Amino acid sequence: MDLTETAETAAFRAEARAWLADHVPSSPLPSLETREGFAAHRAWEARLHADRWSVVSWPEEYGGRGVDLVHWLVFEEEYWAAGAPGRVSQNGISLLAPTLLDHATAEQRARVLPPMASGEVIWAQAWSEPEAGSDLASLTSRAVRTEGGWLLSGQKTWSSRAAFADRAFGIFRTGPDTPKPHQGLTYLMFDLRAPGVTVRPIGRLDGKPAFAEIFLDEVFVPDQDVIGEPGQGWRIAMSTTGNERGLTLRSPGRFLAAAGRLTALWHAQGEPADTALRDRVADAVVGARAYELFTWAAAARFAAGGAAGAESSLNKVFWSEYDIALHETALDLLGADAERADGEWAEPWIFSLAGPVYAGTNEIQRDIIAERLLGLPKGRR
């Protein structure tokens, strides 16, 4: 049991810190959920990529540094501590890339990953459908075989980033008459500007088009954009949800930085005698630390060959509820200024509110924790 950093890791940390100190924009970029901000964030991805900081954990051939999870965690700590911009490429990097690395052909990896790393191609996810949210397996959008590829038809929704992104990935029904809903699904990538695609941006609570509906009308997808075997889409999609993704979806560094900002706000605005707020600030500090340490332990388990499983559900419930509590504390510290739309906590608060629903609702995650980690009998679902 050990938390000391090796000299090599410390050197990596120092290198990241120095680079970030030199390059992080001195004033925040516009929100990445706006056209202008999206472009600025894309440029920032290119800047990161130029010095190989955009995807440190990827193999070098695709633009990474081939470092392990520990280094990735260190990089993330430094990244968020430096106040660096949000990652507009996050969907591609944390959802699609692990799938490509596990299941794609060498040709696909070589073709898709480098432009993802550079921000040249930005990816949207296209999982949910209007009638398939928590019950994802019930999706009905289909891909029909055609010469040299597939024709996609149907509707996807809640596609984050889709308003401004270039391409999207998701699973589609290719064998409609299977006995179980998880069968006959195929994992595909498609162009958001292809003929037959209509993207309708959807305004978030603050009006920003943080997600979109995607209408698909016989959209052609060449065979080269099918990942893995047709019909194996569910298995492929699920195989990467249980792995390190649980750890890399929201890095501890983000919350350590947020807890640091909250503590600074408390020092600036808080009444030291107000223990009710003090306790909530302390809880945020301790929670960020707990999340960090939980992640270090999970990284050590992976390094020792342990498999990840339903722990990612623990992780998901923890960070999403933590994030809301942290932002509510900030708003309570701000008092009358809490509702100012131009306040620096307003957009992060709105963003935090999506956490319990996003990436598998916390209700479903708690069912998973109870059934898979505690072995409770499966109920009706």
Partner 1 sequence: MRFLPTDEQSDFARTLRSLLGSAQVPAVVRAWSDGEHGPGHELRSRLAATGLFALAAPEAYEGAGLLAPELSLGFVELGRAGMPGPVVESAAVSVLLSELGDEALAKRFLPGLVAGEAWATLTLPGGSGGGPYALDADAAAHCFAVSDAGELRLAAPGEVLRSTDPARRLSRPAAAGGELLAAGPAVTRAAAVTGRWARLLTAAQCLGVGEALLARTVGYVKQRTQFGAPIGSFQAVKHRLADTLLALEFARPLLWAAALSTAPGDVAAAKLRCGEAAYRAAMTALRLHGAVGYTEELDLSLWLRKARPLRDAWGTPSACRAEVLRPVTPG
Residue numbers annotated as active site: 244
Q: How far is the CB of 273 from its own copies (least distance, A)?
A: 4
Q: Does the protein bind its own copies through residue 379 (CB under 8 A)?
A: yes
273 binds, among its own copies, partner 1, none (CB under 5 to 8 A by kind): its own copies
Q: Three-class SS of residue 310?
A: coil
Q: How far is the CB of 277 from its own copies (least distance, A)?
A: 8
Q: Does the protein bind its own copies through residue 269 (CB under 8 A)?
A: no
106 binds, among its own copies, partner 1, none (CB under 5 to 8 A by kind): none
Q: Does the protein bind partner 1 through residue 207 (CB under 8 A)?
A: yes
Please tell me the distance from the alpha carbon of residue 67 to that of residue 280, in angstroms, as a whole number: 36
Please tell me the distance from the alpha carbon of residue 91 to that of residue 24, in angstroms, as a whole number: 21
CA distances from 42 to 29, 115, 120 (A): 11, 11, 7
302 binds, among partner 1, its own copies, none (CB under 5 to 8 A by kind): none
Q: How far is the CB of 325 from partner 1 (least distance, A)?
A: 11
Please tell me the distance from the alpha carbon of residue 259 to that of residue 270, in angstroms, as a whole number: 15
Tell how strand 167-173 and strand 123-125 pair up.
parallel
Q: Does the protein bind its own copies through residue 276 (CB under 8 A)?
A: yes
- DSSP class of residue 361 equals -
Please tell me the distance from the alpha carbon of residue 360 to that of residue 238, in angstroms, as a whole number: 12
Q: How far is the CB of 335 from its own copies (least distance, A)?
A: 14
Q: Within positions 142 to 181, which residues make up the interface with partner 1, using CB under 8 A?
A: 157-158
User: H/E element holding 124?
Assistant: strand 123-125
Q: For the chain, what is the radius of gyration of the CA atoms?
A: 21
C-beta of 61 vs 279, nearer to its own copies: 279
The residues pairing with 39 across neighbouring beta strands, listed in sequence order, are none
Instruction: Report the residue from 274, 328, 332, 371 that binds its own copies according to the rule CB under 8 A.
Output: 274
Instruction: Report the residue from 27, 147, 176, 381 that binds partner 1 according to the rule CB under 8 A.
Output: 381
Phi-psi label, residue 125: left if phi above 0, alpha if psi -120 to 50, beta otherwise:
beta
157 binds, among partner 1, its own copies, none (CB under 5 to 8 A by kind): partner 1
Contacts of 290 (CB under 8 A, 6+ apart): 318
Q: Does the protein bind its own copies through residue 273 (CB under 8 A)?
A: yes
C-beta of 191 vs 332, nearer to partner 1: 332
Interface residue list for its own copies (CB under 8 A): 273-279, 379-380
